[in-house]
Amino acid sequence: MTSVTTATLRLAPDVLSTREIGPWLRTAMRHVDAETADALLSRMELAVHEVCMNVVDHAHLPADSVIELSLVLSSTDLTVWVRDRGAEFDLAAIPDPAEGVLQERGYGIKIARALVSELSYRRTRSGNELALRIDRGGRDGGL
């Protein structure tokens, strides 16, 4: 049997609204066994949170626009898309902080990259689209 769950969420582009991400993901995974749900939720919530904070801080969104989240949970993976109408950016050009050197900024995308199986970006006609995918059945990759 193949079961696919989908869900959407519209987030106001502010810091406090990021608190809605966890409950939204948890609701979407209510039919998944607890162990799988916990493993997916803990990693995806923080990864999506960091991506959304990046949008809030850097995307220069037009007035009254929102961050649109959607997800697909299938038997093989959980994928969340984060879409916004902000300025184009180059995900590949965002460097990870230097090894062993503390800095105040720059950890958000590094954290998101590390928590998911794949983080990808594309520019669409309406704006930015980031896709975060975690493969089910994988573990923490040694982290």
Partner 1 sequence: MADSDDGTDAGPPRLRLRVTRSAADRTVIALAGRFDAVEALAVRERLARADITGAGHLVFDLADVTFLDSAGLAVLVRTRQDRMRTGGSVSLIRPVSEDSMRVLRLTQFDQIFTMVDGRARGTT
Single residue of 91, 97, 129, 131 touching partner 1 by CB under 8 A? 97
What backbone phi and psi angles, to 5 degrees, belong to 7? -160, 155
Verify binding: residue 91, partner 1, rule CB under 8 A: no
Of residues 72 and 113, the one with the C-beta less far from partner 1: 113
Tell me the C-alpha distance between 86 and 78, whole Å.
25
User: Which CB, 6 or 38, lies closer to partner 1?
Assistant: 38
Q: Angle 72-120-112 (CA atoms, 0-180°, nearest 5)? A: 85
Is residue 35 a contact point for partner 1 (CB under 8 A)?
A: no
Q: Which of 11, 29, 46, 55 binds partner 1 (CB under 8 A)?
A: 46
What is the separation, in whole angstroms, between the first and last Cα of the chain? Answer: 32
Please, which residue, 6 or 135, has the CB nearer to partner 1? 135
CB atoms within 10 A of CB 99: 5
Q: How many residues bind partner 1 (CB under 8 A)?
A: 26
